[in-house]
Amino acid sequence: MNFDFSLIISSIPQLLEGLGLTFQLWIFSGIFGLLLAIVLMLMRISGKWYLSAPAMVYIYIFRGTPILVQLFIIYHGLPQVEFIRESFLWVVLREPFGCGILALTLNTGAYVSEILRGGVKGVPKGLGEAGAALGLSKMHRFIYITTPLAVRLAIPAYSNDVISLMKSTALVSTITLLDMMGIARVIVSETYAPYEIFISLMIIYLVITWATQKAFALFERRMSRHIIQ
Amino acid sequence: MSLANTAPKTVISLQDVDKYFGEFHALRKINLTVAKGERIVICGPSGSGKSTLIRCINRLEEHNSGKIIVDGHELTDQVKDIDAVRREVGMVFQNFNLFPHLTIVENLMLAPRLVRKTAKAEARKHAMTLLERVRIPEQADKYPSQLSGGQQQRVAIARALCMNPAIMLFDEPTSALDPEMINEVLEVMTDLAKEGMTMICVTHEMGFARSVADTVVFMDAGEIVERNTPEEFFKNPQEERTQKFLKQILSH
Amino acid sequence: MESLTGWWDDFFWGSLVVVQVFFVSLVLMVFFGLLGSAAKLSNSKALQKIANGYTIVFRGTPEILILLLFYFGSAITLTAIVNVFDPSIKFVDIDPFWAGSIAIGLIVGAYATETFRGAFLGVDPGQIEASRALGISNFNTFVYIRIPAMWRLALPPFGNHMLSLIKDTALISVIGLQETMFVAEQATANTGEPFVMYLAVGIIYLSFSTIITLTVMGYEKYGNKHLEVGK
């Protein structure tokens, strides 16, 4: 067996051509997913059954099924549904990129909403009471007391999900997209050198993960400077 | 509209108040009136309902039956009634409950700016005045985590005073403090009492009760068992339960 | 919906494969997790470094990449090894079941390493001291005091690991394992109804994750019975 070290290095530039797509998927899904998560979380804690029940069902479904299945339902399955084909959504859902973003967004939204909810629940009850005793309205309490603290509490778990999301982008290689993973699989099929190419790719992903973790650690330190938890 | 059957003005009136936590009967037919400027200390064993009682006064707990009237407003489910009461009543908690993400002065300024719509500069001025009153103006721009327990509690008192309440409630304000810090907080509370603030204080500090209180109330198992001036209360406890309690806390 | 007729037993067998993968990788996950946490908690710097490397690599790399790497990589490795003995053999086929199960076991095992490590560290040292002071041996303290305490701390996150396991099995279809995704693909080619077929797969997985969640909840209740305050 020939182990070609040089191939590991030389394949990196080619793999990095997919970086742009990887990042696009990561960032767009991350942002949309976060917005979705905020909405879901607010629905969950609203106390009104007609809001919290649908949110709970949604979260249950999207956390209880594999993301690959969700991706395939959207990419392979939705074209079968006539209603989708004839709607304005078709422009987006026709393309694998749109499907990828949708699947990743819907999935990360479910996970992050639970993370945010955990943050909200983690804010000590006494602080809300102090705010109430001072005459602050429910909304004021939520905006000025609960939210700043909930965000800080959620940062560690959220950073884990951000990294998870980045790893999940590799799945779009199964629906023909040429992100880094997609390019890697193409190269492997041409060179028959899976070890070298995949190890190369792994190094790239590890670097991205490491950088992300460092960035979040710095962010968390800044935000929680004066707050002993 | 105030209840005018006593010569000094009654600011708080609890009439036949009952409170349940599920099956547990926390408050049993409580009747209590508080006059303007009166300083009441409530004492009793744990589980007697003393915290529950004062928490009902600013609606942190909801009473199940009976009437609670604060400064002319009856406490009901209506948000505007509750808000009206909370503007007049300040509360100091056992665990301080300072907002950790805000500086000391920001802690004080938050409620006046949001509730009374006070302008920033004016709120800051008022806050600094109060910080001087509790004797820690130099900590204004620090964060709560940087202060000692005694300092934090004094800030908490200043924060409550920032809303210019007519009545101050204290829920075991010194119970979470190390012994050497209890006095600095009691001093501030004594100053407050001297200035004529109406105060209800749940505490175990009997020295404070003796020197500052007009009335001492003893609660046990959800009832008000005895109520008297400090002198009479400590010298001639009438009820057996009161005597037992006093023996326990004054013996060590 | 009728298009599902005729495919029920295929989906059933596919589900069975999923269950088999789940249990195999569950055992591996616990094994690697205990090994990894033991290494991290040990006094050997070398072991700690190895364990750290393990968790960093397997938690920072996409699962699908690990699967592909394992599958192709082990095929090549085994071929190379076999070639030493018999150069005429061109290619050794690896069963995707084993490549996949081992890969997933390693992946979730990396997360389990952290969970077990945290759980061991979370055991109240006072309890250990009390046990030793009573004269109970190191080994018995470990078995009767430390493990029960640690298991209760580890259970909630462990439940999440099990959920990850069952969901990751879907990825093994990418290296050719004939489980539910594979069946759905076949059924789609046959019936032209991908939505129905993949939805069926989704429901199958949802059922599995529900069973796991309920089981863990049941265990948590059982494990915390002693903490229930008497009424």
Q: What is the DSSP string of B132-166?
A: HHTT-GGGTTS-GGGS-HHHHHHHHHHHHHTT--S
For residues C65 and A202, the answer to whether their CB atoms sit within 8 Å is yes
Q: Is the pLDDT of residue B114 over 50?
A: yes
Residue where the block lists tokens 């003393």:
B50
C143–chain A nearest CA distance, Å: 32
CA B49, B55, B56, B61 torsion-angle sign: negative
For residues B38 and B9, the answer to whether their CB atoms sit within 8 Å is no
A137/B83 Cβ within 8 A: yes
Q: Is the pLDDT of residue C229 over 70?
A: no
- Is residue B179 very low, low, confident or very high in pLDDT (cuts 50, 70, 90)? very high
- Is residue B1 very low, low, confident or very high in pLDDT (cuts 50, 70, 90)? very low
- Segment B62-77 mean pLDDT: 90
B90/A contact by beta carbon, under 8 A: yes
- Name the CA dihedral angle for B143, B147, B150, B151, rounded to a multiple of 10 degrees: -60
Q: Is the pLDDT of residue C167 over 70?
A: yes
For residues A133 and B86, the answer to whether their CB atoms sit within 8 Å is yes
Q: By CA distance, what is C168's nearest residue in A?
A: A66
C168/A198 Cβ within 8 A: no
- Name the CA dihedral angle for A121, A122, A123, A129, rounded to a multiple of 10 degrees: 60
A79/C171 Cβ within 8 A: no
C230–chain A nearest CA distance, Å: 25
Q: How far apart are CA B226 and CA B218, in angstroms?
A: 5
C188/A69 Cβ within 8 A: no
Chains in contact with B via at least 3 Cβ–Cβ pairs below 8 Å: A
Average pLDDT, chain C: 88
> 3-class SS at B178?
coil
C41–chain A nearest CA distance, Å: 22
Pair of tokens at residue B1: 């509209």
| pLDDT value at residue A92 | 80
Chains in contact with A via at least 3 Cβ–Cβ pairs below 8 Å: B, C
- The pLDDT tens digits for C40-79 are 988 889 999 999 999 999 999 999 999 999 888 887 777 7
Angle CA A115–A120–A123, to nearest 5 = 125
C202/A69 Cβ within 8 A: yes
Give the residues across from B70 on adjacent strands: B12, B73
| pLDDT value at residue B252 | 53
What ipTM, to 2 d.p.? 0.88
Q: How far is CA C38 from CA A220, B109, C32, C117, C120, in A?
A: 29, 52, 10, 8, 9
Nearest to B145 among A126, A127, A228 (CB): A228
Q: Which spans in C42-146 are helix H?
A: 45-60, 63-85, 96-122, 125-133, 138-141
pTM, two decimal places: 0.85
What residues have CB less than 8 Å from C36, skipping those under 6 apart?
C51, C54, C55, C109, C110, C112, C113, C116, C117
Q: Which spans in chain B are helix H?
A: 50-57, 79-88, 104-115, 120-133, 149-161, 179-194, 206-212, 230-235, 240-251
B93/A130 Cβ within 8 A: yes
| pLDDT value at residue C49 | 93
Q: How far apart are CA B142 and CA A49, in angstroms?
A: 42
Cα-to-chain-centroid distance, residue C204: 18
User: 10 Å Cβ neighbour count for A19?
Assistant: 14
Q: By CA distance, what is A84's nearest residue in C?
A: C195
Contacts of A67 in chain C (CB under 8 A): 167
Q: How far apart are CA A180 and CA A197, in angstroms?
A: 11
Nearest to C202 among A65, A201, A206 (CB): A65
Q: Is the pLDDT of residue C228 over 90?
A: no
Pair of tokens at residue C83: 């070639």
Q: By CA distance, what is A143's nearest residue in B?
A: B114
- Is residue B7 very low, low, confident or very high in pLDDT (cuts 50, 70, 90)? low
| pLDDT value at residue A3 | 67
- The pLDDT tens digits for C120-132 are 998 888 888 888 8
pLDDT tens string, chain A, 229 residues long: the values are: 456 778 788 888 888 889 999 999 999 999 999 999 999 999 999 989 999 999 999 999 999 999 999 999 999 988 888 777 778 788 888 889 999 999 999 999 999 999 999 999 999 999 999 999 999 999 999 999 999 999 999 999 999 999 999 999 999 999 999 999 999 999 888 887 888 889 999 999 999 999 999 999 999 999 888 875 4
Q: How far apart are CA C109 and CA C155, in angstroms?
A: 15
Separation of first and last alpha carbons in chain C? 51
B102–chain A nearest CA distance, Å: 9
What residues have CB less than 8 Å from A4, skipping those under 6 apart?
A193, A196
- Is residue B13 very low, low, confident or very high in pLDDT (cuts 50, 70, 90)? very high
Helices and strands (H and E) in chain A: how many: 13, 0
What phi and psi values does residue C22 have, to the nearest 5 degrees? Answer: -55, -50
Higher pLDDT, C87 or B238: B238
What residues have CB less than 8 Å from C79, skipping those under 6 apart?
A1, C89, C90, C91, C92
Average pLDDT, chain B: 91
- The pLDDT tens digits for B189-248 are 999 999 999 999 999 888 899 999 999 999 999 999 999 999 989 888 888 888 888 888
For chain B, the farthest-separated pair of C-alpha atoms sits apart, in whole angstroms, at 56
DSSP code for C229: P
- Segment B126-142 mean pLDDT: 94
A132/B100 Cβ within 8 A: no
